Amino acid sequence: MNTFARSATALLTCVGLVLSGSAATAWAAPATEDRTTEDHAMGSQIRKHEGGSARVVIPTDPGTEAVVYGIDVSGHQGNVDWNHWWGLGKRFAYVKATESTGYRNPYFAQQYNGSYNVGMIRGAYHFALPDRSTGAAQADYFVNNGGGWSRDGRTLPGALDMEYNPYGATCYGLSRASMTAWIKSFSDRYHARTGRWPVIYTSTSWWDQCVSGDFSSTNPLWVARYSSAVGTLPFAWPVHTIWQYSSTPIDQNQFNGAYDRLQALATG
């Protein structure tokens, strides 16, 4: 075999190795990611599944004599200009602290302390992934990473964010009874750790599909509906405490009561 032929053979062999080895590896499906480290904002899955108005509205409810306006934020907002939102009349804020048992909001300190320092009444929330670990375990993770409560008159009880599964089955593969037990586990553990019952954030549609239990006697309701009216509430709750009514240009909320009632919720 002459020099040219040997070179050509060697080249073809190398090409074959690349196509059968390195290239195959390069194009292979990526390894399963650790999805517990992802950041899902409050209501992100409700908007995805239920839609709703993206208009900036200040809704009115004929049955409400007075309301207080606020916002909620997560890592997606980064460092928040709290003076700006205070100037727009926002007087309370909820800040995402944790998700499952593998994610902590890297901007939590700036958001949680910043809202407080500007004068807002603030609280923390936890995005639940009920198929990953027990309710008690996620409550502990939440409390240990910013979700606690103190009787300072400016700290709201922690909120449990219950909404559509970002990764698959709407109800996380749990029966309605099992989901009820999971929420009770979280709620009971949070109460044991802090002395307060967590606020439960959800949508009527998700709750009625996935949960069978009645939490109306213990847990304040934070309902999401992006419209000009609150609409039908989830099973058994006679009244809502907070209404998330818009996600533009940031998640916007309305406390169902005057400012002194918001203070009462914070004080416990």
**What are the residue numbers of the active site?**
72, 161, 163
Nearest-angstrom CA–CA distance, 240 and 262:
13
**Two tokens, residue 198:** 């967590």
Residue type, 164: Y
Nearest-angstrom CA–CA distance, 194 and 145:
13
Angle at 155 (CA atoms; ends 249, 202), nearest 5 degrees = 50
C-alpha dist (Å) from residue 190 to 70, 99, 141: 24, 15, 10
